[in-house]
Amino acid sequence: EILQSKWFDNVPLLIEDELPLKSAISFANSEALTLQNAIRVAIVLVKAFAECCEYGSFSRRVDSVSLDDVFVNLSDCCEVDVSDKEPNDVTKSLTDLKNKPNPDDTTTKNTTSLKAPVEDILRTGFFSSFDDKAADVYEAFFAKCANVKSNDGTQVDHSGDTVGIELGLGYFTRLNHASENQEGPSEIPHEDSTARESSRNIETNPATTHKTLLGVDIISPTPVNQGNLNQKNGFDDTQKFQVLGWLLYSVFSKGSYPPSQYYPSNLNLQLTDDDIDTKIGLSDRFAGRKSKSSRPAEKTIFYYLLNSNSYPVSICRFLSDMIDIGPKGKASDPFKSFDEITDDLKHMKDQPHLFLYDFPRISGGSVPSSLLFGRQYHGRTKELTQFLDIPTRLERQHSVRAEAVFVSGRAGSGKSHLVNTCGDFLSTQGWIVVSEKFERDVEHKSQSVVCSLFNKIVAMLIRMKLGRNQQDIEYSDGVVRALESSLDHNSLCSLAEYLPDIQDLIEGVIIKRSSFVEANLSHWKLVFLLTEFTTALLRSNRPIMLIMDDLQWADSLTLNLVLRDLLGALGERINSHNFLLAGLYRDDWVLSEHPLYSQLERIRESRNVNVTEILLSTFSKTDLSEMVAAELRLPTRVVSDLSDFVHKKTSGNILFAVELLNSMVRDSIIYFNLKSRRYDWHWDIALSVKTGENVAGFIVTTLSSLPQETLQVLRILSCFGFHVELSVLDLLESSSVASNCGFRAPLLHLVDIGVIEMAGGLITFSHDLIQKCIYDGIELAARHNLHYDIGTFLGFKASPALAAPHVEAVQIDMSQVYISDSKQSAESNVSTKSLLSIAVDHINHAGPEFITQQQQRVTFAAWNFLVGKELSSRSRFGCALHYYEEGIRFLGIGKWINDIITDGRQLCLGLYEGAAAACCAIGKDAMTAYYANFIFQNVSPENSLPAWISLFSSLESSGKHMEIVEKGIKLICHFNINISRDPPNPAAIMESMAAAVASASHFKIDQIVEMYQNRSERKMQNIFKIYNAISVAAYSLSSPYLPLLTFDFVRYSLKNKFCTTETAVAFASFGLFNIYLIQDYAAGKYWANIVLDMLKKARARSAYVRAKWIVHGHIMIWFIPLKTTVKNLFRTYQLGMKIGDFNNSMYPLVLSSSYALFEGENLALLSQSFNGNLKMMMKYNIACAKFAVIDKDMIDTLRGEDTNPFSIFEGLYANDEDLINHAQEENNMNLLEYIYLRRFILSFWKGDYENAETCAKVALSFPSAKWPKLLSMYFSFFRGLIAFQRYRETQSEEQLRNGIESICKFEVWVNLSPANFENKLTLLNAEQQASLPNIKQAKVLYKASIESARDNGRVHEQGLAYEMMGKFLLSVSNESTQAMECLEKARTCYNQWGALGKAEILCRQYGLAADDSKLRDDSLKRDRSS
């Protein structure tokens, strides 16, 4: 009844998340008082006790305190009448109670033991006096509790319960403190966490310094200085802790007393030894502990409790440090404050596996298992919380964008530990978490690190697929389905080049090797494939976290790949909110000139990625103290001096601190004290430890004391870098570098002392600083010898062919080295490819300067060539370049071997050719030209074609089209393709075309298609790749060489009966020129169909995309509906993206967007599409962006808004005038024509026919204007309309002829595709009839054009027909009403098109009333976007 009373509901002792006092009492009275619950009860008691002391009961007094209400409420619960008591009687009664001896009767003991501990407290004089009401309430309370019955009606035995303790602390002490205070108010006591938690129960009036405790108004005193003595009672701080220790002892022992010899001297308890023995019956309630009756040998309470075997060692130490204190105390670490007591208890409660851990008793005096700092995560709670807030935000879908977090700090600041700890936690929550680390001095392997990261995800999916967890199986299957839906078979095979485990995940996928000539596609192909792969993962609704460590050592290309291209692409995806990238780097390395610096600047401004940055400074003293406490399993108060010493020595560098602590363990400065069952340390020795100036020097110094065999193994490991496979070391067991004891025993010792880690067959240094310190500590000559011995041994192990002293044998037996991906050495599970790569790395570290024999240098150059070639075949061009350049270094930079060995010339060619292709792939244009030109100086044109292809590809990316044409024309003359170097004249072009037509006439379509070969003679294939490169450049320049090249290569192909994908480009161009030069549309379509049939057999690659967009974008527009053409072009763009041909993919994207504009796509939607397309073009092909931005500018004008699309160029080009100047400088005729044609069309829509005619004249002046294309069709259409309008104004016969000329063209075209040309021809005819004038016929034709445009879905041309009809009818008598109706309908059509600007122009021109068209357009945009 007392426990349930409302009085207890008002007790303000809700201590954070601990038990309130009421619950503490309940636990103390129940069978639930386990060790953990006892600790929770103890926490509440300590908080209550500390709060009592804080309110000044020992030295101050408050006069005006009324306790009536409190006593009345409590007396009501106890049914005690306190109204007539006299103060003197109560005082006497309380005095008797204090001096009352313990009853001897056993029954009495059992029934009154509930209040016995409190009686003993009162007996000590710790509480001075109570008024009369307090004494009666006290008596009534215990009388009530003594008679409490259980549910079954039996008397409840409260023996050993501690309710009285809690009541004495939680109630009577408060009353005592209130009544004892005498002085006036002063400052409000400092609020700790307890006071803050209790704020809802402690009411403070800001106007006074009063507080309300338990309904009692108390004037708050100044907190008592714990160093002061209570003059009245004579209790100092030591005795406070002793009293509290006694109380807590009662909690853990369920009401027992500690031995009498450990009582404070002024606690005048008259207890006999028998009393002690009776009351000391230690509880067996705590699992697994049994009491012993033996008396402690040592006269300290710690050993008394320890030998009882009833408590954990930490509890023994805890109680001893409170009780066995004072001048004669023997406690090792006495408590100094209540906070220390609370901290100890909370550590026990929150981390019992650490702070309640008992080291096992080990016979023979041995110590527990080795102590090793640094393995567990400690401290940095703020940073840990900040990091975990990000995945929390993602899981709750509070973020709609991808997330990136960058953690920076100095070396050894704990970046990896923090992020990996978070990653380990998230992986238990269903996240896909993988991590990789970039390594120092191997930037060339950066892309491989990224591929390895993603390949780990594939390996994880395979394990899920083969596992038993149904959710994992479904997830893996879902990812496979998503991949198969987004990537075709060829793309999946391309993905396997980078992620080889895909072969085991998806059935039927095999690795397809890349060639040098496709090198320029590698970067964007990888971006696309990894983006699609990650998107497929995200579709299955399992969040992903990628961890990339040590970003400061990644090369610029890889940083672009990850932070600019991949992260940027994912940020634009709808389901990117499940993606988190964690990047770690050393901030002292990333200065303004570092490539990572600019990448971070750019990504901070990204609108598609949320960026969080966490800077790790030095480890705080508190965090270090917690780490040391947790590892030693001691309270923080005990280890604070040690942790402060370490912090001072290491300046808070956590790696330094860990190494120092581990060295102290190795040197037995920190040792396990068997007597006290805890770790201890020798202070005198610790203070003399010399740490040096930095962690590097300290590591070298401490590890130098290792045994020589262990140190040698450590040096060998450091030569491999940050990590090495154990199987590689197993191979080295039989080499000269291995010591007599082998590797295994030293490795295990290094693991034990924390220098290295071994997991999954991989040996890794615990920190890269350790590896660097060891490696740098090896003398230079010894280091070179180690690398040489390791490299040659592993190289010969990879294949006997590699031991050949000449290159020819290596070339001939290369297949013995590269049999398959799965080929392994007979003595190891390391693939021979990996083994050769490892061997070559060591040889390269030794360097050509160390190797004096020329024959050996050539052999090692050949090894580098083999590794580089293998990497190139897997599109790892950045890494391949490193090995090609190393091979060149072994031969001698700038030297060409002709006379040393038979195959030296071929080796030089292979190395320089590979280097040129690799440089081209990664955008090093200057180096591409250097290596290619070196080849041209030493090799004939017939044998240098791959180098020419690399050079032309590099020149194209630099926009040097004229140089390509000039060099290309000169080159192809070596292959019996005789093209005049003088600019061709029309007669020469027509003559060449006639010859090509004659050659083609000898073949049927099926015969030509059958000539197509996927695999063919390399020289012929390369010749056509050269043609493809030259034709691209010639097209950009509108060069007259383009038709000449096309015709000659068609004849060359047919003559040699050789067709490849590159030939398809020539055939497609041949079809185009049949239409352009001789208006043979049937022949154009004929060759287009041949190309499409050929491409059905072709493997998709660069020329494939180019051939397709020529066919769909320039030939089939004359034969199929424009809507179908738009779709086909968009599919071609998608195909190019899938194969990584991003550069060529932009051309069909530009055309599809432009054609959609002419087809009448809603301008609001089209504007949004252009925004995204422009960003992509700026990334992949800025030349296409220059065309697209002109279209976007026209769309903005038609819509009546200005979004400044030229801002995409970031100030390079502010408007189309800047583009014109730029095009003139580069002689880019296509761009100039495009700009002026767009100006012409825009002037037409504005009704400014005079300016339109001016622009038309300029556009017609460019050579490219004569090429047949969609713009030519619309140019003729709009020019014809303008001509008839101008004729009616000026009666100029020239204008009439221009109009009729346009009609003639459309009369030809309408037979090819009525859907594309019918409404336009009809409108032109209507304008002609209006010009005659033939009013009746004109009206009929206007209406027919309107209906045709409507039926074909061209709302803009429907509006145009209404406008033309309205303008005409305004000039006809009595037709003004119908004219205005037509103009109103024209405005409606323009609004539906989204051309609000055009509609407003129409309104101004003809005085139409304003309407809510803009509102309707905005609504339409929102609806369609939804």
pLDDT in tens, 735-780: 888 877 788 889 988 888 888 889 888 899 988 888 888 998 899 9
Mean pLDDT of the 1-15 span: 36
- 1298: DSSP letter: H
pLDDT averaged over every residue in the chain:
77
Q: Show the tokens assigned to 366.
A: 């041995």
Mean pLDDT of the 1143-1157 span: 91
Higher pLDDT: 1165 or 1411? It is 1165
Q: Above 50 in pLDDT, residue 927?
A: yes
234 sits in the region (left: phi over 0; alpha: psi -120 to 50; else beta) called left
What pLDDT shows up at residue 797? 82
Mean pLDDT of the 590-604 span: 92
The span from the CA of 686 to the CA of 648, in Å, is: 13
Give yes or no for a contact between 383 and 616, defined as CB atoms under 8 angstroms apart: yes
Mean pLDDT of the 1176-1183 span: 86
Helices 986-1000 and 1041-1056 pack at an angle, to 10 degrees, of 20
What pLDDT shows up at residue 1362? 95
Q: What is the tens place of the pLDDT at every residue in 1153-1167?
A: 999 999 999 999 999
pTM: 0.72
Q: What is the tens place of the pLDDT at every residue in 225-254?
A: 333 333 333 456 777 788 778 778 877 876
Residues above pLDDT 70, as percent of the chain: 74
Q: Above 70 in pLDDT, residue 861?
A: yes
Residues above pLDDT 90, as percent of the chain: 35
What distances in angstroms separate CA 935 from CA 25, 200, 203, 519, 894, one per listed residue? 91, 85, 90, 18, 10
What pLDDT shows up at residue 393? 84
Q: What is the tens place of the pLDDT at every residue in 1242-1268?
A: 999 999 999 999 999 998 888 777 766
Q: What is the tens place of the pLDDT at every residue in 970-999?
A: 898 888 777 766 778 888 889 999 999 999
Kind and range of the H or E element at 584?
strand 579-586
What pLDDT shows up at residue 181? 40
Q: What is the tens place of the pLDDT at every residue in 1074-1121?
A: 998 888 999 999 999 999 988 887 766 668 888 998 999 999 999 999
User: Per-residue confidence at 1195, pLDDT binned at 50, 70, 90?
Assistant: very high
What pLDDT shows up at residue 122? 37
SS3 198: coil
The span from the CA of 566 to the CA of 578, in Å, is: 15
Q: What is the tens place of the pLDDT at every residue in 649-700?
A: 888 888 889 888 988 988 889 998 888 888 999 988 888 888 776 777 787 7
What pLDDT shows up at residue 256? 62
What number of CA atoms fall less than 13 Å from residue 1376's CA on the CB side?
Answer: 5
What pLDDT shows up at residue 549? 95
What pLDDT shows up at residue 759? 86
What pLDDT shows up at residue 574? 60
What pLDDT shows up at residue 1016? 57
Q: Show the tokens assigned to 401.
A: 């964008």
Query: For the chain, how big is the Rg over CA atoms in Å?
Result: 45
Q: What is the tens place of the pLDDT at every residue in 421-430?
A: 999 999 988 8
What pLDDT shows up at residue 225? 37
Q: Above 70 in pLDDT, residue 14?
A: no
Q: Give the distance, in angstroms, between the CA of residue 889 and the centroid of all CA atoms in the same chain.
A: 38
The span from the CA of 72 to the CA of 5, in Å, is: 13
Q: Which residues contact 1163 (CB under 8 A, 6 or more apart)?
A: 1157, 1195, 1198, 1199, 1393, 1394, 1395
Mean pLDDT of the 528-544 span: 87
What distances in angstroms separate CA 1229 from CA 457, 961, 996, 1036, 1225, one per listed residue? 49, 12, 27, 7, 10
What pLDDT shows up at residue 1279? 93
